[in-house]
Amino acid sequence: MGEEGVIKFELEFSAAAPLAQAELADLIAWRRILHLLRLIGRDPGRYGGYGYGNLSRRLPPQEAPAPLRRFVISGTQTGGLPELLPAHFAVVSECRPTANLVVAQGPIRPSAEALTHGAIYAADPQIRFVMHVHSPDLWHSAERLGLPVIGENASYGSPEMAAEVKRLLTATAARQGIFAMGGHEDGIFVFGVSAEEAGSILLKSLAQAFEYQAKGVINGSS
C-alpha cells in the first residue's frame, strides 16, 4: 500500500476557482457520512498511514460522449480530513483511459482514482454518483456476497484498472452497482443514478456482510 494516493496517470491540470458550495452539497454530505463510518479516512494503523477513499458526481452535459463526461471528484490526499470544503474538489473535464490521460481543473488536483471514476461514468451514461471506499468487511466477504471482483493484476488508478472496470460493467452481474478491487486491499466501488442509490447499495451490502459475520459465515464457508 506504499503507493496509496500516488497519481499514476498523465494529468493535465490547470488551477481554477472551486465550484460553489451549494453545487457540492450532496458530495460534502455523503463524504462526511463515509468519513464517520471510517470508509474514507486516514488511520496510522491502516495502509501505512496513507489516506484512503474518494467520491465523485457527474456534471452536465449528461449527453456528452464517454471521454468528455465531466465529473467533480474529491482531491488527492484529502482522506484524512473529517469534512471537505469546495477547495477540496476538482473537476475532471476529460478522461481517456487508453491514453492514460486525465484533464482536470480546480483548486486541487483530482484523486488518484480519477481514471477509475471516469471509466465507470464512460461505461453507462445513467451513472451519476461514484464512491470509492475501503471496507475490510466487504472486501473479505466479496465472494460470499456475490460481488464482482476486479482482477488482482489491475492496480489502482491505472489504465489496466480502467479496462477491467469497462469489462466488468458490460457484464450483467456488475449492474448491481458495487464491485471489489482484487488487487487493492479493502477497495470497494459503489455507484448509482444518485448519491442516495449508491449509498443505499453500500449500506445494504455492509449490513449483509455483518449479518454473515454474526452467523459465523465467512468467505463463503460456515
- Does the pLDDT of residue 4 top 60, yes or no? no
Cell of 42: 486516514
Q: What is the CA radius of gyration of the chain?
A: 16
Cell of 24: 457540492
Amino acid at 132: H
Domains in the chain, CATH or no CATH each: 10-214 (3.40.225.10)
Asked whether 157 and 112 are in contact (CB, 8 A), the reply is yes
pLDDT in tens, 158-193: 777 778 888 888 765 557 899 999 888 899 999 999
Q: Quickly count: other Cβ atoms within 10 Å of residue 142's Cβ.
A: 22
pTM of the shown model: 0.91
Exposed (0-12), middle (13-18) or buried (19+): which is 87, by Cβ within 10 Å? middle
